[in-house]
């Protein structure tokens, strides 16, 4: 089967985007892994699939697969690329889109040709909703890894995030601690591990070791989770610039019970076809 795809990225978090509204295919987990493989396939952090919605009140169904083939519920950088993709493929002419994901609905708003704002939903903090194994909700959860105890925040943006504050992201042990946090027994569904340096109350630097991928150049939901954690800890104001290795995102969160708004760039790299 020949599959047409578009390679995109949002602040360096890269995607293979597939339109299953106008082409027919059944993607198995091994097809996703092949598409995402940087040596034997196209190469990307996530494969994004555009499908017709199940609910007629929304515009599209947005499906997300990590490079390891697992299907997940949230990808913020991907959501921005999704909005640009469906407009440029002329699947819609709307500037504001409602899409369904397995975690609920998202609203995507084109600001200009490249910038998109995503209403990422209300963050979830209750342990069962992250999910994290704990008897009660805590601001910081102690994670024991070998002989050290790390105090991490835990936030779900529709996907699980652990956030560790560090003095300097450049020297943070992302490659060694990232996989240990991702697979820690406290996180029954594994977790994305964010390493956050607070530069000022409106500016953080962030590196994320993503579940099912490894360290990426940016993680939109990770940026939202880090800002929510930082605001709740009293370190950050309600609007924060998040500087990631691949670019910058602007995150706004008015507070408990409110949606997190994320604004950032999108880019089309190339289009192609692959036999799968």
Ligand X SMILES: N[C@@H](CCC[C@H](N)C(=O)O)C(=O)O
Using CB under 6 A, which of the segments 19-27, 130-138, 210-218, 232-240 binds ligand X?
210-218
108 is a contact residue toward ligand X (CB under 6 A): no
**Alpha carbons 248 and 235: distance in angstroms, whole number:** 19
211 is a contact residue toward ligand X (CB under 6 A): yes
156 is a contact residue toward ligand X (CB under 6 A): no
CB of 117 to ligand X, least distance (A): 14
251 is a contact residue toward ligand X (CB under 6 A): no
Inter-residue contact 46 to 82 (CB < 8 Å)? no
182 is a contact residue toward ligand X (CB under 6 A): no
Query: For this structure, is 44 an active site residue?
Result: no
**Alpha carbons 162 and 178: distance in angstroms, whole number:** 10
Ligand-binding annotation for 76, yes or no, is yes
* CB proximity list for 38: less than 8 A, separation 6 or greater: none
Closer residue to ligand X (CB): 58 or 262: 262
Ligand-binding annotation for 66, yes or no, is yes
Binding-site residue total for ligand X (CB under 6 A)? 20
CB of 56 to ligand X, least distance (A): 27
CB of 2 to ligand X, least distance (A): 27
Query: For this structure, is 81 an active site residue?
Result: no
Give the one residue of 212, 245, 264, 265 binding ligand X; rule: CB under 6 A. Answer: 212
To which residue do tokens 């929510």 refer? 228
Backbone angles phi, psi at 113, to 5 degrees: -60, -30
Which residue pairs from 54-61 have beta carbons closer than 8 angstroms and sit at least 24 positions apart in sequence? Answer: 54/100, 55/100, 57/98, 58/98, 58/99, 58/100, 58/105, 59/86, 59/92, 59/94, 59/97, 59/98, 59/99, 60/21, 60/86, 60/91, 60/92, 60/97, 60/99, 60/100, 61/99, 61/100, 61/101
3-state secondary structure of 171: helix
To which residue do tokens 């997940």 refer? 72
46 is a contact residue toward ligand X (CB under 6 A): yes
**Alpha carbons 109 and 89: distance in angstroms, whole number:** 17
Give the one residue of 156, 186, 221, 266 binding ligand X; rule: CB under 6 A. Answer: 221
* CB proximity list for 200: less than 8 A, separation 6 or greater: none
Closer residue to ligand X (CB): 123 or 220: 220
Q: List, by residue number, the catalytic residues.
A: 75, 219
What residue ranges bind ligand X (CB under 6 A)?
13, 45-46, 66, 72, 74-78, 159, 192, 210-213, 216, 219-221
Binding residues: 13, 46, 66, 76-77, 159, 192, 210-211, 220-221
Binding residues for substrate: 13, 46, 66, 76-77, 159, 192, 210-211, 220-221
């Amino acid at each position: 089967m020949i599959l047409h795809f578009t390679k995109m990225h949002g602040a360096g978090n890269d995607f293979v985007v597939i339109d299953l509204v106008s082409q027919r295919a059944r993607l198995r987990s091994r097809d996703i892994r092949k598409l995402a493989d940087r040596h034997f396939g196209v190469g990307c952090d996530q494969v994004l699939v555009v499908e017709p919605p199940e609910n007629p009140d929304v515009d599209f169904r947005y499906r997300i697969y990590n490079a390891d083939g697992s299907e997940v519920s949230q990808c913020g950088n991907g959501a921005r690329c999704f909005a640009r993709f469906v407009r440029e493929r002329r699947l819609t002419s709307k500037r504001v889109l409602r899409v369904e994901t397995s975690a609920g609905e998202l609203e995507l708003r084109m600001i200009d040709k490249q910038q998109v704002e995503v209403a990422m939903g209300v963050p979830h903090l209750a342990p069962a909703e992250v999910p994290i194994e704990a008897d009660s909700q805590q601001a910081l959860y102690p994670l024991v890894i070998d002989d050290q105890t790390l105090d991490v925040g835990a936030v779900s943006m529709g996907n699980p995030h652990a956030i560790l504050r560090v003095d300097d992201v450049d020297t943070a042990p992302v490659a060694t601690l990232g996989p240990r946090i991702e697979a820690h027994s406290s996180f029954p569904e594994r977790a994305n591990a964010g390493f956050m340096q607070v530069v000022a109350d409106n500016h953080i630097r962030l590196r994320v070791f993503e579940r099912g991928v490894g360290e990426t150049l940016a993680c939109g939901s990770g940026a939202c989770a880090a800002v929510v954690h930082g605001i709740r800890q009293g370190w950050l104001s309600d609007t924060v610039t998040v500087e990631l290795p691949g670019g910058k995102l602007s995150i706004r969160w008015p507070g408990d019970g409110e949606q997190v708004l994320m604004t950032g760039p999108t880019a089309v790299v190339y289009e192609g076809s692959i036999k799968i």
